[in-house]
Structure 1
């Protein structure tokens, strides 16, 4: 079965959000997710991108969501999988894995 490459976007900032002081940074969360997903779904393509909410890329969708994270005081990092929020503040691997499996990913 040919599966679509799922895009995961981690929105965050260098500075920890006020409610997230004891949690890993957004960048650390991004690196941890990339490694964990890569191990669990070995040889299954996925794209993971880190977006700094204070310095977003020019892509309209990413820029708009980065602004939304700031405006709505969301707990970051905010993890989006194919445009759906699957984690906020302290994302849970179990939730992200369950969402990936809806797209046909199978754990190694």
Structure 2
């Protein structure tokens, strides 16, 4: 049975110092949303962009945004159910593999 996943993309307007030359966090968020929709068409999921310097009030989200800053994680940081799936330049293969654990199936 498929469980709908919620994907969080934590990032900032400023590109991570170690990630110069890579797309912005917001561009990565938009790219991931489009890629996931193509890979798993008509299978619902949620994806949310979180600005690490202006996170929403939700405690868990705010705490993780603070962790990204405090631990100098390479952003964007992509999580599913609180687990880091990728950071800096997330790999689609890793994200798809994690989604398949929750019952998502690629359309052939």
User: Which category of TM-score, normalised to the shorter sequence, fits these structures?
Assistant: over 0.9
What does 1:1-108 align with in structure 2 at a 5 Å threshold? 1=1, 3-108=2-107
Deviation by residue 1:24-68 (Cα, 9 ceiling, x = unmatched): 000000000000000100010100000000000000000000000
Gaps (5+ residues) in structure 1?
none
Gaps (5+ residues) in structure 2?
none
For normalisation by structure 2, the TM-score amounts to: 0.97
For normalisation by structure 1, the TM-score amounts to: 0.97
Deviation by residue 1:3-32 (Cα, 9 ceiling, x = unmatched): 221000000000001001110000000000
Cα distance in 1, alignment partners of residues 50 and 34 from structure 2: 17
1:74 deviates by 0.3
1:82 deviates by 1.5
